[in-house]
Amino acid sequence: MGPGSVVILLIGKPGHLRDALQSVVGVLPGLKSLKTADTGLLALKILRETQPCLALIGSGLPDAEVLELVRQIKQERPQTHCLVLAEQSGQRHLALAAGADCVLSPGSSAGEVVLTIERMLDNQR
Protein backbone atom coordinates (compact mmCIF):
# COMPACT_ATOMS: atom_id res chain seq x y z
CA MET A 1 0.00 0.00 0.00
CA GLY A 2 1.42 3.35 -0.97
CA PRO A 3 0.82 6.56 0.95
CA GLY A 4 -2.81 7.55 0.90
CA SER A 5 -3.94 4.32 -0.71
CA VAL A 6 -5.85 2.64 2.13
CA VAL A 7 -9.66 2.63 2.01
CA ILE A 8 -11.46 1.34 5.11
CA LEU A 9 -15.16 0.60 5.44
CA LEU A 10 -16.54 0.97 8.98
CA ILE A 11 -19.85 -0.81 9.47
CA GLY A 12 -22.02 -0.33 12.54
CA LYS A 13 -24.93 1.56 13.97
CA PRO A 14 -24.27 5.22 14.79
CA GLY A 15 -23.26 5.74 18.40
CA HIS A 16 -20.35 6.06 20.79
CA LEU A 17 -18.54 2.91 19.62
CA ARG A 18 -18.68 3.86 15.95
CA ASP A 19 -17.57 7.41 16.78
CA ALA A 20 -14.63 6.06 18.77
CA LEU A 21 -13.67 3.67 15.96
CA GLN A 22 -13.84 6.53 13.44
CA SER A 23 -11.47 8.56 15.59
CA VAL A 24 -9.02 5.67 15.99
CA VAL A 25 -9.08 4.54 12.37
CA GLY A 26 -9.06 8.10 11.02
CA VAL A 27 -5.45 8.64 12.10
CA LEU A 28 -3.96 5.53 10.49
CA PRO A 29 -0.99 6.28 8.24
CA GLY A 30 -1.75 5.80 4.55
CA LEU A 31 -5.49 6.25 5.01
CA LYS A 32 -7.03 7.57 1.82
CA SER A 33 -10.68 7.26 2.75
CA LEU A 34 -12.86 6.09 5.62
CA LYS A 35 -16.38 5.14 4.55
CA THR A 36 -19.19 4.33 6.98
CA ALA A 37 -22.33 2.24 6.68
CA ASP A 38 -25.00 1.49 9.26
CA THR A 39 -26.56 -1.52 7.49
CA GLY A 40 -25.27 -4.58 5.69
CA LEU A 41 -26.97 -3.57 2.45
CA LEU A 42 -25.36 -0.14 2.43
CA ALA A 43 -22.02 -1.73 3.31
CA LEU A 44 -22.21 -4.03 0.28
CA LYS A 45 -23.07 -1.09 -1.99
CA ILE A 46 -20.06 0.87 -0.69
CA LEU A 47 -17.87 -2.25 -0.96
CA ARG A 48 -18.69 -2.56 -4.65
CA GLU A 49 -18.06 1.14 -5.30
CA THR A 50 -14.87 1.71 -3.28
CA GLN A 51 -13.19 -1.72 -2.99
CA PRO A 52 -11.84 -1.19 0.54
CA CYS A 53 -8.75 -2.92 1.92
CA LEU A 54 -10.51 -3.54 5.23
CA ALA A 55 -14.08 -3.89 6.46
CA LEU A 56 -14.35 -3.17 10.18
CA ILE A 57 -17.67 -4.48 11.46
CA GLY A 58 -18.66 -2.95 14.79
CA SER A 59 -21.52 -3.64 17.13
CA GLY A 60 -25.16 -2.79 16.80
CA LEU A 61 -25.93 -5.11 13.90
CA PRO A 62 -27.84 -8.36 14.48
CA ASP A 63 -25.57 -11.43 14.62
CA ALA A 64 -27.16 -12.97 11.52
CA GLU A 65 -26.55 -9.75 9.55
CA VAL A 66 -22.90 -9.65 10.63
CA LEU A 67 -22.33 -13.26 9.58
CA GLU A 68 -24.05 -12.81 6.23
CA LEU A 69 -22.14 -9.59 5.63
CA VAL A 70 -18.80 -11.31 6.28
CA ARG A 71 -19.77 -14.15 3.92
CA GLN A 72 -20.84 -11.71 1.19
CA ILE A 73 -17.69 -9.58 1.52
CA LYS A 74 -15.45 -12.64 1.31
CA GLN A 75 -17.43 -14.03 -1.64
CA GLU A 76 -17.42 -10.80 -3.66
CA ARG A 77 -14.04 -9.42 -2.65
CA PRO A 78 -11.87 -12.04 -0.91
CA GLN A 79 -8.88 -9.69 -0.69
CA THR A 80 -10.80 -7.31 1.62
CA HIS A 81 -9.88 -8.10 5.21
CA CYS A 82 -12.76 -8.42 7.68
CA LEU A 83 -12.25 -7.39 11.30
CA VAL A 84 -15.29 -8.05 13.49
CA LEU A 85 -15.98 -6.78 16.99
CA ALA A 86 -17.86 -9.52 18.87
CA GLU A 87 -18.73 -9.54 22.54
CA GLN A 88 -19.32 -13.24 23.20
CA SER A 89 -17.15 -16.25 22.43
CA GLY A 90 -19.98 -17.84 20.43
CA GLN A 91 -20.17 -14.75 18.22
CA ARG A 92 -16.37 -14.84 17.83
CA HIS A 93 -16.40 -18.45 16.62
CA LEU A 94 -19.30 -17.84 14.22
CA ALA A 95 -17.63 -14.74 12.74
CA LEU A 96 -14.39 -16.66 12.16
CA ALA A 97 -16.32 -19.57 10.63
CA ALA A 98 -18.07 -17.08 8.30
CA GLY A 99 -14.67 -15.91 7.03
CA ALA A 100 -13.64 -13.03 9.31
CA ASP A 101 -9.88 -12.54 9.29
CA CYS A 102 -9.83 -11.40 12.91
CA VAL A 103 -12.26 -10.91 15.78
CA LEU A 104 -11.73 -8.51 18.68
CA SER A 105 -13.84 -7.53 21.65
CA PRO A 106 -15.61 -4.14 21.44
CA GLY A 107 -13.77 -3.37 24.70
CA SER A 108 -10.35 -3.74 23.05
CA SER A 109 -8.05 -0.79 23.56
CA ALA A 110 -7.56 1.73 20.78
CA GLY A 111 -3.93 0.61 20.58
CA GLU A 112 -4.93 -3.02 20.09
CA VAL A 113 -7.39 -2.08 17.34
CA VAL A 114 -4.79 0.04 15.54
CA LEU A 115 -2.08 -2.64 15.81
CA THR A 116 -4.47 -5.30 14.53
CA ILE A 117 -5.51 -3.14 11.56
CA GLU A 118 -1.90 -2.24 10.73
CA ARG A 119 -0.90 -5.91 10.88
CA MET A 120 -3.79 -6.87 8.59
CA LEU A 121 -2.94 -4.13 6.09
CA ASP A 122 0.78 -5.02 6.18
CA ASN A 123 -0.19 -8.49 4.98
CA GLN A 124 -1.50 -6.93 1.76
CA ARG A 125 1.78 -5.23 0.88
- Tens of pLDDT along the chain (125 residues)? 455 689 999 999 888 888 888 888 888 888 889 999 999 999 999 999 999 999 999 877 888 899 999 999 999 999 999 999 987 878 889 999 999 999 998 888 888 999 999 999 886 65
- Could you tell me if residue 36 is inside a domain? yes
Number of domains forming the structure of the chain: 1
- Could you tell me if residue 70 is inside a domain? yes
Cα angle 34, 22, 17 (rounded to 5 degrees) comes to 140
Residue 95's Cβ-count burial label (10 Å; 0-12, 13-18, 19+) is buried
Report the predicted TM-score, pTM, of the whole model to 2 decimal places: 0.90
- Could you tell me if residue 68 is inside a domain? yes
Sign of the dihedral defined by the CA atoms of residues 122, 95, 79, 81, in that order? negative
Distance CA 51, CA 35 (A): 11
Rg of the chain's alpha carbons, rounded to an integer?
Answer: 13
- Could you tell me if residue 39 is inside a domain? yes
- Give the CA distances from residue 18 to residues 1, 3, 67, 90, 106, in Å, rounded to whole numbers and listed in that order: 25, 25, 19, 22, 10
- Could you tell me if residue 1 is inside a domain? no
Domain that holds residue 72: 6-122
Contact (CB, 8 A) for 113 and 54: no
- Could you tell me if residue 13 is inside a domain? yes
- Could you tell me if residue 64 is inside a domain? yes
Question: What's 64's domain CATH number?
Answer: 3.40.50.2300
Give the residue ranges of DSSP H helices in the chain: 16-25, 40-50, 63-76, 89-98, 110-122
